[in-house]
Structure 1
Amino acid sequence: MTDYERTELVNAFYALRDGTRPDLFVDLADFHSDFFNFDNTIDPTRLDLHFNLPDEPEREIFLAWHRRQMFEMEQAVQNINPRISLAFWNSSNDQSTTSPLWDQNLLGSFNANWSLNRNLGGDGPLPTPLEVTNLYGMADFFEFSNELERRPVHRGAHVWTGGAMPTPLSPRDPIFYFHHSFVDWVWYNWEEIHQNSSFQTTSMLRYDGTYSFGGQTLPLVNPNDIIDTRSLGVFYGSNQLAELNNYIVSNTYRNEEIFYYQYVIEAGSNFLVPSGTNCRMESVNEVRLLPGFEASAGSNFVATIDQVNSGLTGKSRTGEVARLKKPYDYDANINTPIVWEEDNKDDSPVIIQAYPNPFTEKITINLNKNTNCSVEVYNMMGMLIRQETFHNTDTIIINKLYGLSAGFYVIKVVDANGDILLAKRVVKL
């Protein structure tokens, strides 16, 4: 990114929370948290965003949903400045806590100003280049998506960054959008190789035609319609080159489509600007129009070099907006770490320890793996006197037992299939 792009993107992020418009960071974080992951054995009708593979491919939307989320954020910042785009953080090779990524002129200032409580490098590791490469060798889309979601290429940046990132409220942190743009770029590369992405569902939470934000109803999006990033007018630039091809300008999302890159732009191979549409390509280096590029009569097409902003340095930036101190409201989910389920087909036995026994006020039950279960407490007459349900946890605490009469009780722990994991007699003092 140029200094101009860095400044304008940071400006836009702060502007989205300056109180002059609905707060998109809050809305996306709250939505992500509210629908993060549910136990679908309890309520099979309740949809969620994460960890539906491998058992529930009919509910799977992880990659497509986050692609549309990145697009929603990018559209918001481009409404402020149409020349800027989200960048991606390749965490497989940019792994330093002193990387320019964390400088005060990029993403560093948000940590204190928004009380994000990052802990860079405290709970790593980040992915390796080999782990990224290994993903590209997987030919099955759902196998690739499941491995990407649960393992270091996606998980790594969340836990390594700390603060909000390893919680369901991770979209509070602007680095989330850099990270998930990287995840999306990995999917883009995989699809270029295999041409095999396919979703079973035809709509997605938030993007189902019923959700409104800022007074506008968001459109219905079929995840299969955005498998190709070009469907959203998105082209990834890397290795000093942005290749724009196989795209028809439509002005669907704004009156003029602007493709602004620090890199060299090469446009060709069926890149079409039809009559009546507006398109601008702007590079700080070079724009090359190759065979296959066509701007029809009646279109408004401009190719130009940005000479004004390309040479800006940190000392000559213009128009920095105020770096607002605006901590987020407290939400209990900020203390709820994401459980990165390594394999939800784990059939190993659940080993349980319950203590103390005898007890006075509470009983703690430790399991050797995360489990969905219910706990039932019976008196010695066989009457059920207490029942609680626990989701995806390895620690169960039954509180407020001080009101029970002294004597013997039986505790049963039952898993989601109805199998009894524990039946233990305990003593209340």
Structure 2
Amino acid sequence: MNKYYALFVFSILFFQVGAQSIRKNFTEMSQYEKIELVNGFYALRSGGDLINDLATFHNDFFNFDNTIDPTRLDLHFNLPDEPERDIFLAWHRRQMFEVEQALQNVNPRISLVYWDSSVERSVNSTLWNQDLMGSFDANWSLGRALGAEGSLPITTGGGDNNVNVIQGISGTSWPAPDSQTVGFYAYSNRLERGRVHAGAHQWTGGMMPTGASPRDPVFYLHHTNVDRLWQEWETNNPGSSGFIRTSMLRYDGTYVFNGQTLPSVNPNSIIDSRVLGVFYARNGLAVLDNYIVSNTYNPEEVFYYQFVIEAGNNGFIVPSGRVARMESLNTIELKPGFMAQSGSTFTARIDVANSGLTGKSNRTLVVNDKPFDDLDIKNIVEWEEDNKDDSPVFLTTFPNPFINKITIKLNKKTDCSIEVFNMMGMSIRKESFQNTDTLEINNLYGLSSGIYVIQVVNGQGELLLAKRVVKL
């Protein structure tokens, strides 16, 4: 085992390069890291205000089924029978990376951390202390109501160390990360709609159960945890994830933020978080494997974790001409699969002199109470486990694509009507139904192939559903 100890102290040049990312549980954070992360979020409200920009974008393109324009693309709640629309996990992975890169422009030593809501379930958790997520509630008028609604997931077998069974998806069991019992689209749908994702949004309250949830910094800790679970699932089910769509809103090469055009990202190119240089640590161990340093995003890739870094299992390569650094306050172990090729620059450092990373810090919080822009905030109504009123719930629409007929299943009988529109907004067909839980339109052979929109209205004239369907 190779262990490396204090080679040299940090110089001011360190802050001129960006880090890659070892993300850990927020409970492992030092006082220094808490202060720097919180200050980083406050700093993102300056300039172009990335937090507000992401919240506005997320709100504008939140959910196809919740908008009056069901023909446009969206980020959330596409059912397994709509795989051509699904980008939920990939889009939020790229969103977390965008925020983390911005935070590292403020301080390269900090990375996003994750909130495992199946373990840290209390309103008295240190997550909500003023030195972490607490100060944002009042300063940014988030209106949190911790625990007032919704339910957090529960886990058996040791929390984030062993996510075996997580309850909370309409009473069913959450599949284990190494389970092959569900395909990717079913997995993504359950993850998104159940307590693991949706439950934490509801439980937090305020901005979190709305389309503008990215206004709350805890959103990024929560979605970092969702990303971690997906990474574990894909690692244990290699090759299972995949997307039909090859481009994503915001990350399609056309969106401009703060004078810079964001890159085009194919969701299939980031199925493994390690492509972005993102690794997840847990229980004091960060395993860096299956990775080739590329310096794509940063001229020097820096991996910091205060406990144990283990690199090289299944390969960790620093090619010629590339630059990488590993830093720890404890142990760096280079396994036989580690290789720093001739012509590369690699440094491993145990920096015991930099006690600020784990000990007391002279840094102070720099807060602001900058108000957010006015926004027509969309409330989320698609949480699967919390349809508590008497409104009918649309269980599925099938087949999609269709040839001759469209069928919609409800969870209760009701009076309603279905209307079919073409993409020019012209009404093609309308039928009414009374006291039924199965809505069916037949004899659609005569329609031309293409995209149509179906709308379902209840007996009081209220729009219940707007959905895009494809005619073969």
Provide TM-score, normalisation by structure 2.
0.72
Structure number with greater CO (CA < 8 Å, separation at least 6) is 2
Question: What aligned pairs does 1:261-280 form with structure 2 within 5 A after superposition?
Answer: 261-268=305-312, 269-280=314-325
Q: Deviations over 1:267-307 (max 9, x none)?
A: 11310111211111111221111111111222221111232
Query: 2:194 matched to which residue of 1?
Result: 151
Pairwise CA RMSD of aligned residues? 3.1
- Gapped runs of 5+ residues in structure 1? 354-366, 373-388, 399-412, 418-429
Q: Which amino acid aligns with 1:278?
A: V
Asked whether the equivalents of residues 264 and 287 of structure 1 are also in contact (C-alpha less than 8 Å), the reply is: yes
Q: Which amino acid aligns with 1:166?
A: P
Q: Deviations over 1:140-182 (max 9, x none)?
A: 1011001111111111110000000000000000000000000
Query: 2:347 matched to which residue of 1?
Result: 302
Asked whether the equivalents of residues 120 and 162 of structure 1 are also in contact (C-alpha less than 8 Å), the reply is: yes
Distance in 2 between the 1:369 and 1:65 partners?
37
2:44 counterpart of 1:16: yes
How far 1:90 moved relative to its partner? 0.4
Query: 1:425 matched to which residue of 2?
Result: none
My pick for the range that moved more, 162-171 or 258-267, is: 258-267
How far 1:76 moved relative to its partner? 0.5
Query: 2:372 matched to which residue of 1?
Result: 328
My pick for the range that moved more, 142-151 or 321-330, is: 321-330
How far 1:318 moved relative to its partner? 2.9
Q: Which amino acid aligns with 1:61?
A: I
Distance in 1 between the 2:339 and 2:295 partners?
16
Distance in 2 between the 1:416 and 1:296 partners?
56
How far 1:24 moved relative to its partner? 0.6
Asked whether the equivalents of residues 2 and 262 of structure 1 are also in contact (C-alpha less than 8 Å), the reply is: no
SS of the residue aligned with 1:351?
strand
Alpha carbons of structure 1 residues 277 and 164: separation in structure 2 relative to 1, 3 Å: same
Asked whether the equivalents of residues 415 and 436 of structure 2 are also in contact (C-alpha less than 8 Å), the reply is: no
Of residues 122, 129, 142, the one that matches 2:185 is 142
Distance in 1 between the 2:31 and 2:317 partners?
31
My pick for the range that moved more, 180-189 or 322-331, is: 322-331
How far 1:344 moved relative to its partner? 3.3
Query: 2:111 matched to which residue of 1?
Result: 85
Asked whether the equivalents of residues 89 and 227 of structure 2 are also in contact (C-alpha less than 8 Å), the reply is: yes
Query: 1:402 matched to which residue of 2?
Result: none
Query: 1:291 matched to which residue of 2?
Result: 336
Question: What aligned pairs does 1:230-241 form with structure 2 within 5 A after superposition?
Answer: 230-241=274-285
Distance in 2 between the 1:172 and 1:43 partners?
24
Asked whether the equivalents of residues 454 and 466 of structure 2 are also in contact (C-alpha less than 8 Å), the reply is: no
Q: Which amino acid aligns with 1:157?
A: A
Alpha carbons of structure 1 residues 289 and 42: separation in structure 2 relative to 1, 3 Å: same
Alpha carbons of structure 1 residues 309 and 113: separation in structure 2 relative to 1, 3 Å: farther
Asked whether the equivalents of residues 324 and 346 of structure 2 are also in contact (C-alpha less than 8 Å), the reply is: yes
Asked whether the equivalents of residues 202 and 222 of structure 1 are also in contact (C-alpha less than 8 Å), the reply is: yes
How far 1:33 moved relative to its partner? 0.4
Asked whether the equivalents of residues 207 and 216 of structure 2 are also in contact (C-alpha less than 8 Å), the reply is: yes
Question: What aligned pairs does 1:1-400 form with structure 2 within 5 A after superposition?
Answer: 1-17=29-45, 19=46, 21-39=47-65, 45-129=71-155, 130-131=165-166, 134-136=175-177, 137=179, 138-195=181-238, 196-268=240-312, 269-310=314-355, 316-333=360-377, 336-341=379-384, 344-345=395-396, 346-351=409-414
Distance in 2 between the 1:265 and 1:146 partners?
34
Asked whether the equivalents of residues 194 and 384 of structure 2 are also in contact (C-alpha less than 8 Å), the reply is: no
Asked whether the equivalents of residues 368 and 394 of structure 1 are also in contact (C-alpha less than 8 Å), the reply is: no
Distance in 2 between the 1:392 and 1:330 partners?
31
Alpha carbons of structure 1 residues 392 and 96: separation in structure 2 relative to 1, 3 Å: farther
How far 1:188 moved relative to its partner? 0.6
Distance in 2 between the 1:369 and 1:6 partners?
55
Alpha carbons of structure 1 residues 415 and 337: separation in structure 2 relative to 1, 3 Å: closer
Alpha carbons of structure 1 residues 194 and 320: separation in structure 2 relative to 1, 3 Å: same
Asked whether the equivalents of residues 52 and 373 of structure 2 are also in contact (C-alpha less than 8 Å), the reply is: no
Q: Share of identical aligned residues, percent?
A: 57
Asked whether the equivalents of residues 283 and 305 of structure 1 are also in contact (C-alpha less than 8 Å), the reply is: yes
Asked whether the equivalents of residues 4 and 310 of structure 1 are also in contact (C-alpha less than 8 Å), the reply is: no
Aligned length: 370
Provide TM-score, normalisation by structure 1.
0.79
SS of the residue aligned with 2:346?
strand
